[in-house]
Chains A and B, each alone.
Chain A
Amino acid sequence: MIFFFLLLFLVLVAQIAELFIPALPWLYNAHVYIVPVIVFYGAMALPFPLMLTLAFYAGVLLDALTVQVIGGKVEISTGSSILLYGVLAGIMHGLRPLFARGHWEVHSILSGIFTSLIVLAQYLMITFRRGSLVFTREIWWQIGGPGIIAMLMAPILFWLLEWIGRMTAYPYGPERGRLE
């Protein structure tokens, strides 16, 4: 249980840190997203009810920091990020047997793809409101860039979180005791 609360704390810290990490001008102003990687690790490492709680918590934070009310209209419904995190974390949870055997490759790649999917879903939702569906090179990079960064960060973050899990004697981690 300590590990679960530590994950909640880390999600909060990462969400705040994201506000202070500038967009990357060399990657078409792509943003760095750390929270999805932590949530997706939690999706593999936590039992189903706690996984849903973590997804809900991360979704609430993301919604609060991104959803804009302009001129009395909400552009993206509050709860959309909760739904996104819930579905994607659910898929990740389904791959738990691989994680339990100590594999991390598929999950790292999926963390990247799912991070991009979150950004893409946001883009599609705002496009639906604003009209004119446009996909320029810049837009593709702003969607794909965060995914690539998340994919690169995932092995390091997974190793770190796995180490925290072992330090807190978390019993639900990989069966062999460590990620390979």
Chain B
Amino acid sequence: MSRTNIIALLIFGAILGYFLSFGPSATQKFKAGVYQLLAPFLTSGSGLKKQITSVRTGLKSLEQLEHENTELQVENRELRATNQGLRDVEHEVNRLRHALNYRERSVFKLIAAEIVARDSSTWWRTVTINRGKKDGIEIDMPVVTAEGLVGKITTVSDNISVALLVSDENCRVAASVEGSREQGIVSGERVTTGLTPLLDLNFLSKQADLKPGQKVYTSGVGGVFPSGLLIGVVKSFRVRELDGQAQLTPAVDLSHLEDVFVVTGRR
């Protein structure tokens, strides 16, 4: 091996060692930095993809009308999301009124965001959205749609953020089941077997006996997700050796997401 090659190998090894020594916060900064650099390409790439899709499906319209339509659609979705939020709050308030007297809650503050890219790798379920630190987005903020919970923010750069979907095995959400006192932890599956990912609701009691169609909401335990957000609907229930486990169909169609809302707080 020539001297130049040995020097190159040593430099490579030294830089590799430096990267391998990164802790969580250095990794966050590194990820955010690279995403910030890629942000213009990602947003323009998303626009290009939409144009291609639009041409492919033969849906062409006047630019002005399209713009107006998009604005109205976003507004409509925002209103529906707020409405859903109100319904979720109402559900929670009603439950608490009966059990613990009542406690007033307010609706969520929402930031509308568009998905610019999704699932960059095989083993993680993520989406990239076109909102970042400048818009008030922070790590661990919940992401929702009018239909229910989508996931949470894991990486934030100035103009772009990455959200981990609720269908990822690493996204764990404390949940409660409608019409019962059962509580558990929802997480995604490591590998999606069908077209639609399913969620697992673990650590239920063996006597839970959940019925298909029962709704599962965030319980608010843990502090990341506010209570009352719809996660999914029970598909099946089985008793395991130590606990009960339910399979859920996500409330949101995660494979066809276009617009989402980031919950920045409560009003």
A residues sitting closer than 8 Å to B (CB atoms) are 12, 16-20, 22-23, 25, 29-31, 48-49, 52, 55-56, 60-61, 63-70, 72-75, 77-80, 82-83, 86, 119, 122-123, 126, 130, 134, 136, 138-139, 142-143, 146
Contact = CB atoms under 8 A, between A and B. Distances in A.
B145 to A, nearest CB: 19
Contacts of A52: 8-9, 12
Interface residues of B, number: 51
B10 to A, nearest CB: 10
Given A52-B8, A69-B27, A70-B154, A78 B22 contact: yes
A16 B38 contact: yes
A65 B191 contact: no
Given A19-B118, A65-B120, A49 B45 contact: no
Given A19-B128, A60-B19, A68-B155, 9 more contacts: A12-B41, A16-B45, A31-B121, A31-B122, A48-B5, A52-B8, A64-B33, A67-B31, A77-B22
B22 A19 contact: no
B160 to A, nearest CB: 12
A83 B27 contact: no
A29 B196 CA distance: 11
B49 A126 contact: no
Interface in B76-94: none
Given A78-B22, A79-B22, A49 B121 contact: no
Contacts of B154: 68-70
A69 B24 contact: yes
For the residues of A in contact with B, the DSSP-based class is: helix
A126 B123 contact: yes
Contact of A64 (B7, B23, B35): B35
A60 B31 CA distance: 10
Contact of A65 (B16, B19, B23, B121): B121
Given A16-B45, A49-B4, A138-B193, A74 B117 contact: no
Contacts of A16: 38, 41-42, 45
Contact of A49 (B5, B49, B170, B171): B5
A123 to B, nearest CB: 6
A66 B12 contact: no
B56 to A, nearest CB: 13
Contacts of A30: 122
Contacts of A122: 121-123
22 contacts: A16-B45, A19-B45, A19-B117, A19-B120, A30-B122, A31-B119, A52-B12, A55-B12, A64-B30, A64-B35, A66-B123, A68-B126, A68-B164, A69-B27, A69-B154, A70-B164, A70-B170, A74-B24, A78-B22, A78-B30, A134-B190, A138-B192
Contact of B20 (A17, A64, A78, A123): A78
A143 B128 CA distance: 23
B153 to A, nearest CB: 11
A82 B13 CA distance: 10
B28 interface: yes
Nearest to B190: A134
Contacts of B8: 48-49, 52
Contacts of B124: 66, 68
B62 interface: no
Interface string B208-223: 0000000000000000
Contacts of B9: 48, 52
Listed residue (B19, B42, B46) with the most chain A CB atoms within 10 angstroms of its CB: B19
B15 interface: yes
A69 B156 CA distance: 11
Contacts of A56: 12, 15-16
Nearest to A76: B123
B34 interface: yes
